[in-house]
Amino acid sequence: MIHPTAIIEGNVKFTHGEDSVEIGPYAILRGDITLGKECKVEPYACIEGTTTIGNHCTIGHHALIGGLPQDLSFDPATVSGVRIGHHNTLREQVTIHRSTAEGGWTTLGNHNFLMAAAHVAHDVTIGDHNIFANAVLLAGHIEVGNHVFLGGGSVFHQFLKIGDYSMAQGLASMSQDVPPFTIASGLNQLAGLNSVGLRRAGFTPEVRKAIKDAYRLVVREGASVKMIEKIYRTTAAPEALQFLDAFLHPGRKGACRSPLA
């Protein structure tokens, strides 16, 4: 299952033995690497540094996992790595860089699908059941929730939060947090709620209405922080509270609330 042209160097471990993995032609595994069962590393892929990959993952052609962060001040002697969970598919030319912090990790959860040429920079944290279309670009220190869909070519500035069940339209450019349950579009704009996604995910009509009411007050009517705090105290639906919390406790850049014109 390991092609004779593959290069394996350093402390490479297969949790269920060599017979449980497939390593393609000219693939490179170099460093302190752990691969779970039924992982597939396709031709010319490169996994390096300190990298842990769970079970049932596919690393596509020419992908680079665990590479040095694109940070001019980074010291390559820093001990850091990449942690990847189970049932992830990383297609061709996907790049995931290791953390810039001593002992730090860039992390990817479970059941994620990253399409061709998606880039995950250093110190990014990604949850579960997310889909990134081709050429999605995440800068460093971004937090991505669960059940997120990012359209092709969408780009995200460093230190952002991307909330659960949110979407980004193709070529969206965001330098502010994307609140949960919303659709990001253009330059720091919201095109509305991810209503179809919420319905497909099984959110009840009552919960969807509570989120919609919170969205209308914050985004459409421009409620102040004081008003958002008041709404927060009187709203019962946890999902609406999660939406409001994005504005009460945003990241460094603040949360986007500009409606699409």
Q: What is the pLDDT of residues 65-108, one digit of tens each?
A: 999 999 999 999 999 999 999 999 999 999 999 999 999 999 99
Per-residue pLDDT of 202-216, as tens digits, reads 999 999 999 999 999
**Banded model confidence at residue 41, pLDDT cuts 50, 70, 90:** very high
pLDDT of residue 39: 98
Q: Which long-range contacts (CB under 8 A, 24 or more apart) does 185-189 make?
A: 185/260, 186/260, 188/256, 188/258, 189/256, 189/258, 189/259, 189/260, 189/261
Q: What is the mean pLDDT of the chain?
A: 97
pLDDT of residue 261: 72
Q: Does the annotation mark 122 as catalytic? A: yes
Residue entry with tokens 């919201």: 190
Write down the catalytic residue from 60, 66, 123, 128.
123
Amino acid identity for residue 70 in this structure: Q
Q: Does the annotation mark 140 as catalytic? A: yes
pLDDT of residue 231: 93
Residue 82 to residue 109: CA distance in whole angstroms: 11
Identify whether residues 30 and 74 lie together within a single domain.
Answer: yes
Amino acid identity for residue 249 in this structure: H
- Give domain status of residue 59, yes or no: yes
pTM for the full predicted model: 0.97
Asked if residue 53 lies in contact with residue 36, where contact means CB atoms within 8 angstroms, the answer is yes
Identify whether residues 145 and 239 lie together within a single domain.
Answer: no
Give the range of the structural domain holding residue 74, as residue numbers without chain letter: 7-193
- Give domain status of residue 259, yes or no: no
Write down the catalytic residue from 87, 97, 119, 122.
122
Residue 196 to residue 205: CA distance in whole angstroms: 12
Write down the catalytic residue from 24, 81, 140, 151.
140
Asked if residue 99 lies in contact with residue 122, where contact means CB atoms within 8 angstroms, the answer is yes
Structure tokens at 170: 């193709």
Q: Is pLDDT above 90 for 166?
A: yes
- 90: enclosing H helix or E strand: strand 89-90
Identify whether residues 89 and 210 lie together within a single domain.
Answer: no
